[in-house]
Amino acid sequence: MRQLKLYKRTTKFITKLPPKQQRQIAIAVQKLATEVTPHDAKKLQNSDWWRIDIGEYRAIYRWDDVAVHVVLVGKRNDSDVYRKLERM
């Protein structure tokens, strides 16, 4: 089982959401610690990053032997999450 590492902006975004969405995201992210490529995970083109859809949100992450790094969470229908990833 890998450790979960959430970036500061990820935690900040999640805490601003309603409790129901917070739980949805928390459950999905915790599952990444045991299964890093769930059935709905997709690798981003020309990148080491992966994404999963969580209800109306999308999480961007990658992993190594020790940890899963969740760098961003954002709206699914908004490409802003990809623009933020490019700026990092």
The domain locations on the chain are 3-87
Q: What is the pLDDT of residues 55-64, one digit of tens each?
A: 899 999 999 9
Region for residue 6 given its phi and psi (left: phi exceeds 0; alpha: psi -120 to 50; beta: otherwise): beta
Query: What pLDDT score does 82 carry?
Result: 78
Query: What pLDDT score does 1 carry?
Result: 85
50: pLDDT confidence band, cut at 50, 70 and 90? Answer: very high
Q: State the DSSP H helix or E strand holding residue 12, giving kind and residue range, or none if neither.
A: helix 8-15
Which CATH code fits 3-87?
A: 3.30.2310.20
